[in-house]
Structure 1
Amino acid sequence: MIRVAMALAALTTAVPAAAQAPSDSLAYFQQFDRFCLATGGDPARAVAAAEAEGWIAAPQAMVDEAVNPNAPEVAIRLSGPADAAPARLLLSASPPMADRGGLKVRVCAIEPAPGAGLDETRLTALVEARLGFTGAMLPVWVFSGSGPFVDENELILQGREAMAARAATTPIYMLNLVPSGDGGSALALLRMGD
């Protein structure tokens, strides 16, 4: 999803002066925490959090390009005008997955602005300090709860059937540290279950 969004065409949009793109690893993580972790990856809550900080809706053409069979529900918010290569809040939801009991997977990610050069080591430390545990298989952390977070990393080793079974009773989150287009890193939160 993040790489798809990076390839989207940029269109001009007006932006309120209050919007701020994250410029370093700490600022980026703090926005990710407010937009994705604190909202549990819920699209409406994440959009509201971003818009409260001045982020704006992406042009519809950008959203339309991101929609695909695996992500028919997409929302994108930008930290600045589309033609200025801003940071992007990306939200998507899968259709119900037959092989996972009809569960949906939701994604909440912030693609940093080009050149942000976010540091993987620093982001890892910030994630682990916030969650209160280390990842079982870095750079992935699996958990439930909304704070305090409950370490569910064993689900990675138990397989996707175990993860789907657990997600049928409580939402399971998978926080991933992913490469960004500029050689830096970014964070993506996947939520399985309602």
Structure 2
Amino acid sequence: MSNQPPAPSAQPPSKPQALLLLGPTGSGKSPLGDYLAEHGWQGRRCFHFDFGHNLRKAAEHGFDNTFLTKDDVNYIHDMLLAGTLLENETFYIAAHLLDAFMSDSGAQEDDVIVMNGLPRHIGQAEEVDNLVDMQLVINLECSPETVMERIATNSGGDREGRVDDSKSRIVRKLEIFHERTVPLLDHYRHKNVRIYTFDVGVTTTPADIIGGDRGN
């Protein structure tokens, strides 16, 4: 028997199939998403939608995207500085970014969209459920101490140039994650979405994560 979690079903869906990378800041979601985009998932092509990266890009180059207004760009910029989340009334920003990504990616019906950073709370999840068919959640468990050390050493290789990695901002992100994002596990359990949990250490790599699992 393979020690990898099973691939999402290959039956043609009415919505794009997706898997969600869930974990606190610094746990390795972006490196894992890049790894899946490069190597695929058990024979399936993967396309990595890094929501945080897309938000930061929009804040810097918002007017390259005609669907974003000046107010939208300012809102994104302020939200990133404060470390807060998009709420339901501004979810249209996330929907636009995801739609643009899927249109540009060239993903086909048997491909998998790797969702990283979206959704981050129940309200977002309910909106995302209308856009993609979530097949699997990869839950990265990582203690606050490990998060701090992974970020300080850039063990995932994805923190260079980040302006939101001060200790106070990391602490606030962790608070928000536990208050608002962890409940997504129950949301997807109730929807019978498969969840696989991995314990992340300071030096854990994407290959380590994909090579072993324990399922919930």
Tell me the TM-score normalized by structure 2: 0.28
The one of the two structures with greater contact order (alpha-carbon pairs below 8 A, sep at least 6) is: 2
Tell me the TM-score normalized by structure 1: 0.31
Return the structure number with greater strand share.
Answer: 1
Return the structure number with greater helix share.
Answer: 2
